[in-house]
Structure 1
Amino acid sequence: MLTTLLKYRIRIQRLFHFSEDHTMLLWAGVVGLVGALATISFRESIHAVQWLLTGKTGSLVGIAESLPWYVRLIMPPLGGLVAGVFLVLSKRFASGAASDYMEAVAIGDGHISVRQSLLRSVSSLGTITTGGSIGREGSMVQLAAMAASFIGRITHFDPPRLRLLVACGAAAGLTSAYNAPIAGAFFVTEIVLGSIAMESFGPLLVASVVANITMREFPGYQPTYEMPPFPAIFGWEVIFFVGLGILCGFASPQYLRLLAFVKRKLKETNFPLPARLALGGLFVGLISVWEPQVWGNGYSVVNSMLHSPWAWTAVLSVLLFKVLATSFTMGSGAIGGVFTPTLFVGASIGYLVGFGVHALFPVGTSQPYAYAIVGMGAFLAAATSAPLMAILMIFEMTLSYQVVLPLMLACVVGYFVARSIDETSMYEITIKRNEDAKARLRLRSTQMRELIKPADTVLPLSASFEELSKMFLEYPVKYIYIVDDENRYQGVVSLQDVTSALLEKSDMSAKRAADFLRRDALPVITPGMSLGQALQHFLGHQGERLPTVDETGETRALLGVVYKSSLLDAYFKLNKAGG
C-alpha cells in the first residue's frame, strides 16, 4: 500500500508537471481537510462524554451550574485520576517519535506517534469533560498535526517536507478551533517555525483556509467567540488602550510564573501522575463549589461578558478563581491547551479596565466589552511573544477595522513590556528559541579576553639552557614564551632549536634564552580580537595554543594563552545554535 501511494504521488506530480512547491500546496489542502475532521471528531467526543456523564451537552459552565455542589466537587478529581491513568499508558509508547507537534516541527523529523497522541487525547478528554480548567485547542491541534504526520509518512515525505506538513496540520487545527485562518497560519509561523518564508507560509495558509471552509460546511457550526460590533474609538481614548497594553504586559509574566510555580510545587510532591492529576482536579472541584464558572476553558464566560453587563466585583472574582483553577489543572500535568484560558484572563482584565474607564469618563468612552476584546489580544501577545498572531486573531474574530488601531497599540505595547520584564513564554519552544538567539549573539561578540588561560611555560630572556631543557621535559609543548624583566613579550624558544643544540653535544652552559629567541615565529592573539579573527590565526598554526599579548599600549605584556580547543568549542556552539 505504501509503495502504491508513493507511485500515485509521483505519477500525479509528473502528469501535471508540478514542482515540489506546487505539490506541497496540494498536500496542504488535504491536510487542512483532515485536520478539520480531526478537530470535529474531538469536539463531538467531548459532547458524547458530557452526555454520558451528566445527561447534558453544551457549555461546561452551564452544566456545572446545574449540578449539585458535591458533584462539582468530586467530578474534577475523578476525571483527573482517569486522565492520569491514560497519560501513564501513553508514556509506554514513547519512542523516537515526538509526543508534541511543536517538538516534531521545530527540532524533530516530523514523526508523531499515533498511539501516544491518541492516548494523550483521551487523557485530555477526561480532564476537559469533568471540569478541568484547560483549553480544548491543545488536543485539537495535536490530533490535526498527528494526522498530517501520518499522511506524510505513508506517502514517504522526506523529513524537511514532513515537518512542514505537520506544521500545516497544526495550522489547520488552530484555525478549526478559533475560526481564524490567517491567525492560525501566523501562530505556526511565529511560534513554531520562528520565521516567515513564503515557501512555508503559503502551504500553511492553504491548510488553514481549507480547514476553515470544511468547518463551515458542517451543520451547527458557529465561531467559538461571538464578537459584538466594535464601536468607533475617539482619538484621545486610544491612551486608555495603551494603558491596557501596559497592564497586560506587566500581568502576563506574573501569570506565567504562577503557572510554573504551581507546576513545580505539585511535581515536588512526588505523587504518581494519576494522583497528581486527581489532586489538581480536587483543587478545581473545591473552587467550583463556590464558583462553578471556573469549569472549562472559559469561552462561555467571555461570550457572556461581551454581550451582557457584568458587575466589576463578579468579573474580578471569577478572574481570580479562574487563574487559580487553571494553575492547578495545568500544574498537575494535565494535557490540554492554555491558549483559551489566556484569552479569558485578557478579556477579564480588559473588562475591568473598561469598567473603570467608563465609570470615570461615561461620555466619549467605549463600553467595557470593547476593552475586553482588545485585552484578549494584548494579553495573548504578551504571553505568547507573538503580537502579529494576536492582532490577526482578534481582527479575524471581530472582522472590524475599528478594532485595528487600539488592538495594534495594545498588543505591541503589551509584548514589549512583557519582554522587558521577563522573556518567558507560554510555549517552551519560544523560550528555547530566545535562548538560542542570545547564545548566538553572545558567541558572535565573544572576545579572546574571555578565553585567556594562564601561560605556564614562560621564562625570562636570561633563562639558562638548563632551565629551558628542564621546562621542555616538564611540559609537552613546542614553544616556551620569553619575556623581559617587565613581562613584555619578546618571542619564543622552539623545542626544535633546543633539541638541535643538544644533538651537537657542545657546551651550552653559557647559552641563554635570548640566544635561541625567535621573535616572529608565532602570531599573537590580542584580548579584543573576535572569534573569527582568532580562528584565522589558528588556521595557519599547527599548535594547540597561541600567546595573548596586550597591545593597547607599548608594553606588549604577556597576558596568557588561548587554546585552540577553547576557540573551536565556542565556534561549534555558535554553529550548533544556528549562527
Structure 2
Amino acid sequence: MNVSSPDRLRTRLALLLRANAILLWAALVGCAGALATLLFRDGLTLLQALLFGRSGSFVDIATALPWQARLLMPCAGGLLAGCVLVLARRHAGGARADYMEVVAVGDGKVPVQLTLVNSVSSLLSIASGGSIGREGSMIQLAAMSASVIGRIARFNTERLRLLVACGAAAGIAAAYNAPIASAFFVTEIILGAITMNSLGPIMVAAVVANITMRRLPGYHPTYEMPAFAPIANLEVVWFVALGVLAGLIAPAFLVALQRMRGLFAGSGLPLPLRLALGGLGVGAISIWVPQVWGNGYSVVNALLHQSWLWQAVLVVLVCKIAATLLTSGSGAIGGIFTPTLFVGAAVGHLFALVPQALTPETAAAPAAFVAVGMGALLAAATSAPLMAILMIFEMTLSYSLMLPLMLACVVAFGVARAVNGPSMYEITARRVADEQERERLRAIRMQELIRPADTVLPLDASIAQAAALFRQHPVKYVYLVDTAGRYRGVVALHDVAALYERDEASSRTCADIARPDALPVVTADMGLDDALRQFMRHFGERLPAVRSALDPELLGAVHKTDVLDAYVRLNRAPLGMQVEA
C-alpha cells in the first residue's frame, strides 16, 4: 500500500520535531532563566528601597549615607545572611546546591528549597553593601528553573543535566547581555568540551534569554562601552604586556581569596558571626572609600568614560580587592565573576599610563586598556580564554579591539597556567588536575608498576623446590632465571604435578621442563597500551617484567589490576563530557 504525500510529510515532520525537541525545551528554559534573573534583580531593587529608601548604584547609596550607617549596614546584612545560611544548611540534607556540580557530576536535580534560601541570603549580603557579584545567584536560580522544568517533563538524567546547563547559560546571557559568551562559558568551563549535541541547545537557551531580557522593562546593558578607535599595529605589544600582568595578578587574587576563606573557616566562629565580621571590615573600608560597596558596575562604567587620577584608581583597586576578600572569604553567597572584571578594568586603566607616558602620540585610549584588562584578567582567573574574548567582544562590539583582546586573553591564560595559578571555579580546577593526572599516566612506564616477584627459582633448581614454592603461593607458574639473573622462562604447575604422578620428580630439574615462551613478558620501558596488549595474550593476573628485550634481567612482576587501573584512569571521560542530548 502506497503512503500518500500528506502522510509522508506528517511522518517526516514528526521525526524532525522529535529530533529537535530538546531545542524547544531549551527555548523554554531560556525564557524561564531570563524571568528568574529578572526576579532576583527586582528583589534586590525592592530590598534596596526598603533599607535605604532608594535603589540604584550602590556607590551612590553609600556616598549619601552617614559614616555610621556605612560601617554598620554591611555588618548587619552579613549577620542576617549568615543566619539564613545556617537555616539553609540545616535542611540541605547533603544535596548538591551548586549548578556546576549538578551538571558535571550530579543527577541534574538542583534543590529548590536550598537554592531559594541561598538566594535570600545572597540578597541580604548584596543589598547591605557586600562587595560581591549578583550573577552567581542569578545563574543558580536560572539553573534551578531549568531543573524544575526538566523534572516536570520527566527527562532522564543525561537530558536533565543538559537542560540545567541550558538554564545556566540563560542566566549568564540575561545577566551580562552576552549570549554567545554565555554558551561558551557553560561548554568551556562546566562541560569541558564543545560538541554540537550540547552547544546547540545551550546556544538556543542563551539567545532566547537575551531576547526575553531585551523585551522586559528596565533592561539596559550592564556595561556602557564607548566607541573604540582603531589600534596601531605596534600598540598591540602593549596589550600583550597587559596580558602578562593580568596572568600574574589573577592567580595572586585567587590565592588570596582561598587563604581568606581558610582564615575565616579556621576562626571557629559561627557562620553568622563570620559574615558579620566580613561585613564589618567592608563597612570600615567604605567609610573612606564608598566605591567598595556592591559589585563595581558603576565604577567600571566610570573608568570607561571618565578620566581618573591614577592615585584614586589605585586606592579604589586595593580597597575593592580587600572588600571582596572579606565578603567572599567570610562565606557570603555570591559570585566573584563581576569583581574580577572590576579588578581587570582597574588594572587596565593603571597600565594605560605606561604607553601614554612613553608613546603618547600613538597610545590607545585608556578605555581600550580597561576593556582588554577585563577580558585578560577574566581569562586568567577562569581558565577560559575563548569565553573571555567573546564576552568582551559582545560587550564592546568593536572589531578594532579584537586583535589586542585575543592576544591579551591568550597570553594571560598562558601565564596563569605557567605559574600553576588556581581557577576561579572548583570544577575547572578539578578538570585541570584530572588532565594533569592523565598526562602523568600517559608517560607512565612499567618500571613504575613492577612489584617484587616471590616465585623465582634458579634454572637448575630441583622439582622439589618448585613444588614447595607452588605450595606456598597460589600461582600457576614459577619464574626461572640463570646465574646472571636473566629470565629464562617458567615452570608450570601442571608439569610439576605430572612428574610426581610418573615418579620422575627426583631425577629432573626445572631446566628440563622449562617453558621459555609460555608467557609474554613486559619490559621496564613499555607503556600502558603495549602492556595491555601483552596481558590480552594471557589470562593470568601477572606477567614477568624484564629490563629490556636485549637485556632480559628479571626485575619482578607486573599485575594486570595495576595496569587496568592506570588505563581506566587515563581513558575515562573528562568531567561533563557525557552531557549529551
Please indicate, yes or no, whether the TM-score normalized by the shorter chain is above 0.5: yes
- Whichever residue aligns with residue 45 of structure 1, its letter is G
> What is residue 509 of structure 2 aligned with on the other side?
512
User: Which structure 2 residues correspond to residues 513-552 of structure 1 after superposition, within 5 A?
Assistant: 513-552=510-549
Q: Distance in 2 between matches of 1:552 and 1:287?
A: 70
2:364 to 359, 363, 366: 366
3-state DSSP of counterpart to 1:547:
strand
Q: Distance in 2 between matches of 1:30 and 1:13?
A: 25
2:414 to 413, 416, 425: 416
Q: In the alignment, does 2:425 pair up with 1:427?
A: yes
2:570 to 557, 574, 579: 574
> What is residue 102 of structure 1 aligned with on the other side?
100
Q: Distance in 2 between matches of 1:139 and 1:459?
A: 68
> What is residue 332 of structure 1 aligned with on the other side?
330
Q: In the alignment, does 2:261 pair up with 1:254?
A: no
Instruction: Note the alpha carbon deviations across 1:52-95, whole angstroms, 9 max, x for none.
Output: 11112111111111111121111112211111122122223334
- Whichever residue aligns with residue 562 of structure 1, its letter is V
Q: In the alignment, does 2:552 pair up with 1:556?
A: yes
Q: Distance in 1 between matches of 2:250 and 2:162?
A: 30
User: Which structure 2 residues correspond to residues 122-521 of structure 1 after superposition, within 5 A?
Assistant: 122-505=120-503, 508-521=505-518
Q: Distance in 2 between matches of 1:378 and 1:359?
A: 22
Q: Distance in 1 between matches of 2:69 and 2:347?
A: 30
Q: Distance in 1 between matches of 2:12 and 2:132?
A: 47
- Whichever residue aligns with residue 56 of structure 2, its letter is G
> What is residue 6 of structure 2 aligned with on the other side?
none
- Which segment is superposed worse, 291-300 or 214-223? 214-223
3-state DSSP of counterpart to 1:401:
coil
Q: Distance in 2 between matches of 1:29 and 1:217?
A: 15
Relative contact order higher in (CA < 8 Å, ≥ 6 apart):
2
Instruction: Note the alpha carbon deviations across 1:336-363, whole angstroms, 9 max, x for none.
Output: 1111000000000000011232133322
Instruction: Note the alpha carbon deviations across 1:297-327, whole angstroms, 9 max, x for none.
Output: 1111111111111100111111111111111
Q: Distance in 1 between matches of 2:548 and 2:216?
A: 75
3-state DSSP of counterpart to 1:402:
coil
From the superposition, tell whether residues 540 and 67 of structure 1 become closer, same or farther in structure 2 (CA, over 3 Å): same
> What is residue 46 of structure 2 aligned with on the other side?
48
Instruction: Note the alpha carbon deviations across 1:246-269, whole angstroms, 9 max, x for none.
Output: 111111111111111111121111
- Which segment is superposed worse, 361-370 or 252-261? 361-370
Shift of residue 464 of structure 1? 2.6
- Whichever residue aligns with residue 305 of structure 1, its letter is L
Contact 2:254–2:423 under 8 Å retained in 1: yes
Shift of residue 290 of structure 1? 2.0
Contact 2:525–2:548 under 8 Å retained in 1: no
- Whichever residue aligns with residue 508 of structure 2, its letter is K
3-state DSSP of counterpart to 1:184:
helix
Q: Distance in 1 between matches of 2:398 and 2:423?
A: 28
User: Which structure 2 residues correspond to residues 5-20 of structure 1 after superposition, within 5 A?
Assistant: 17-20=15-18
Q: Distance in 1 between matches of 2:563 and 2:215?
A: 60
Structure 1 residues without counterparts, runs of 5 or longer: 1-11
> What is residue 5 of structure 2 aligned with on the other side?
none
- Which segment is superposed worse, 20-29 or 349-358? 20-29
- Which segment is superposed worse, 463-472 or 114-123? 463-472
- Whichever residue aligns with residue 555 of structure 2, its letter is L
Q: Distance in 1 between matches of 2:191 and 2:291?
A: 35
Kindly report the root-mean-square deviation, in angstroms, between the aligned alpha carbons of the 2 structures: 1.9
From the superposition, tell whether residues 20 and 111 of structure 1 become closer, same or farther in structure 2 (CA, over 3 Å): farther
Instruction: Note the alpha carbon deviations across 1:496-517, whole angstroms, 9 max, x for none.
Output: 22222233345x4453222232
Contact 1:42–1:140 under 8 Å retained in 2: yes
Q: Distance in 2 between matches of 1:13 and 1:92?
A: 52
- Whichever residue aligns with residue 117 of structure 1, its letter is T
Q: Distance in 2 between matches of 1:96 and 1:151?
A: 22
Contact 1:439–1:577 under 8 Å retained in 2: no
Shift of residue 142 of structure 1? 0.5
1:81 to 79, 82, 91: 79
Shift of residue 122 of structure 1? 0.5
Contact 2:132–2:334 under 8 Å retained in 1: yes
Contact 1:437–1:577 under 8 Å retained in 2: no
Q: Distance in 2 between matches of 1:354 and 1:172?
A: 34
Shift of residue 272 of structure 1? 2.0
3-state DSSP of counterpart to 1:521:
coil
Instruction: Note the alpha carbon deviations across 1:209-261, whole angstroms, 9 max, x for none.
Output: 21112111223321111111112212211111111111111111111111111
Q: Distance in 2 between matches of 1:33 and 1:114?
A: 18
From the superposition, tell whether residues 447 and 302 of structure 1 become closer, same or farther in structure 2 (CA, over 3 Å): same
Q: Distance in 1 between matches of 2:34 and 2:395?
A: 18
Q: Distance in 2 between matches of 1:577 and 1:436?
A: 10
Shift of residue 195 of structure 1? 1.5
Instruction: Note the alpha carbon deviations across 1:457-480, whole angstroms, 9 max, x for none.
Output: 111122233322322222222221
From the superposition, tell whether residues 13 and 180 of structure 1 become closer, same or farther in structure 2 (CA, over 3 Å): farther
Shift of residue 557 of structure 1? 0.7
Q: Distance in 2 between matches of 1:281 and 1:577?
A: 42
3-state DSSP of counterpart to 2:401:
helix
Q: Distance in 2 between matches of 1:27 and 1:247?
A: 43
Counting matched residue pairs gives 566
From the superposition, tell whether residues 17 and 535 of structure 1 become closer, same or farther in structure 2 (CA, over 3 Å): closer
2:26 to 25, 28, 31: 28
Contact 1:246–1:417 under 8 Å retained in 2: yes
Contact 2:489–2:517 under 8 Å retained in 1: yes
Taking only the aligned residue pairs, the percentage that are identical comes to 58
Q: Distance in 1 between matches of 2:350 and 2:54?
A: 32
From the superposition, tell whether residues 562 and 178 of structure 1 become closer, same or farther in structure 2 (CA, over 3 Å): same
